[in-house]
Structure 1
Amino acid sequence: MSSVNDLSGKKRAILVAAEKCFAMQSYEGVSIRDIAHEAQVPVALVGYYFGAKNELYHAIYEHRSSYIAERLSDLHKATQHADPDMALNAIIAAFITPVLRLNEQPDGVNFSRMVMRGVIDQHEASARITREFYDPMAREFISALSSALPAAPIEIIFWCYQFALGALLHHVVDTRIERLSEGLCPARNAAVATPHLQRFITAGIRAAALAPPHPSVKEHPA
């Protein structure tokens, strides 16, 4: 599958316009006419290239899936580390770095916001995307984290993945840090943000994995 950057002309214009529309409004609130207007193409051309709205929505993720492949490729390299600490650091780098690089691109910002809207709105089109593109990747990262932290109960690993994902998603859609820091912290500069986010997530996961069980958590019987 070609990426968005491989496309040209009106087909690319439609995908980029659709990302922008889905980033600004809910899935239900966006119409094919809205997308055609944003792309400055006839309404019929959207359907000709991509079909119905749900298929266009799916096509966006297909054309953006190279960043998922990059994350999985980096994950595979990370799991080759014999040292657990190095492996954990590399796993988190694989998880966040391709996302932050994509988010530096103007079109990537819209895609990030579109992903976040899909998580919040939980409509059928986004559920299909999650099942097809993100759940398989999540399982691979969870398995890698479990291997790097063999003493951690598996339920803790699941929580760690959930919270790591939350930190990543919030960062890529929220630029308020630039205002709060009066420009000291450029939110979309991947070279600046990546090491901080990587250390934050890695340390949090390591702390959670090594913590004694909470009194409210009952241990599973042997």
Structure 2
Amino acid sequence: MSGVQFSTKDRILGAAEELFAQQGFAGTSLREVTGRADVNIAAVNYHFGSKDNLINEVFRRRMDVMSAQRLDALREALETRPGQLEPVLAAFVKPALAMSQDRHGGGAFIRVIARAYAEKNDGLRKFLSDQYGHVLREFAKAIAGCVPELGKEALYWRLDFLSGALTYAMADFGLIKRPSGVTETSHRSHAAEELIRFAAAGLRADPVE
């Protein structure tokens, strides 16, 4: 693929990400995307084929990188600190928070994720499950090995809660804002450590009778 082709595709993805973050998937037209990206509709059709495929690719370009980072960190945790819960949680949490800090659209993508939770889009949910479900299953297996007393249902409830809390932290919606004089990196690192401790305590809590 030539540099011009890559640049065009990347501009379309960036424009789509920004508009989906602002207006949602249903509220954004391909014509708006092409206007923001300064390309014609033929370029979108050439690179993506349809709006649904464009939505999927907005997720893929971020999620592929984050998923690879998570799995690499998970393998290292299992090899170097087997049976320890906190390193497994760190492998799940830290790459996601690092992505949210990315100044090249990371913040917009977090809002896109929030849109995915809020809007009913069965095609997108199937795409995410098909492409990235294996990542969650690997983490579920690793966490189950650290808290063997938890049944499968309780484990998945708690993983859902962890994922929700992580998304909230990524979006920086919470009460704790970055103090003056504290770098964004330090603030995110502190958030990661607090979330890991919180999640570890929740996962180790006694199952509901």
Question: TM bucket by the smaller chain?
Answer: 0.7 to 0.9
Tell me, yes or no, if the aligned pair for 1:178 and 1:187 is still in contact at 8 Å: no
Structure 1 residue 8: deviation in Å? 4.9
Instruction: Give, in whole Å, the separation in 1 of the partners of 2:99 and 2:113.
Output: 12
Is the 2:21–2:108 Cα contact (8 Å) retained in structure 1?
yes
* Other-structure match for 2:168: 170
Q: Aligned in 2, Cα 1:74/1:47: closer, same or farther, shift over 3 Å?
A: same
Change (3 A) 1:203 1:81: farther
Say whether 1:213 aligns with 2:208: yes
Residues in 2 aligned to 1:205 and 1:95: alpha-carbon distance in whole angstroms: 14
The answer to whether the 8 Å contact 2:147/2:203 transfers is no
1:152 aligns with 2:147: no
Q: 1:6-63 CA distances to partner (integer Å, 9 max, x unpaired)? A: x952221111111111111221111111111221222322222221101111122222
CA gap 1:201/1:135 in 2 versus in 1, 3 angstroms: same
Aligned amino acid, residue 73 of structure 1: D
Q: What one-letter code is carried by the residue in structure 2 that aligns with 1:88?
A: L
Which TM-score applies when normalising by structure 1?
0.81
CA drift at 1:79: 2.1
- The separation in 2 between residues aligned to 1:178 and 1:36, in whole angstroms, is 38
Counterparts in 2 of 1:22 and 1:175: CA distance versus 1, 3 Å = same
Are the counterparts in 2 of residues 187 and 193 from structure 1 also a CA contact under 8 Å?
A: no
1:95-122 per-residue CA deviation (whole Å, 9 max, x = no partner) reads 1111111100131111121122112213
The CA deviation at 1:77 is 1.9
Look up the match of 2:70. 71
Equivalenced residues, count:
203
- Pick aligned residue for 2:92 from 91, 95, 98: 95
Separation in 2 of the partners of 1:153 and 1:184? 44
- What's the CA shift for 1:82? 5.4
Higher relative contact order (CA 8 A, sep 6+): 2
| TM superposition shift of 1:90 | 0.7
- Percent identity between matched residues is 29
Alignment RMSD (CA, Å): 2.5
Q: Is the 8 A contact 2:98 2:188 kept in 1?
A: yes
**CA 58–8 in structure 1, closer or farther in 2 if over 3 Å, else same:** same
Q: 1:21 is matched with which residue?
A: 19
Could you tell me which runs of 5 or more consecutive residues in structure 2 were left unpaired when the two chains were aligned.
none
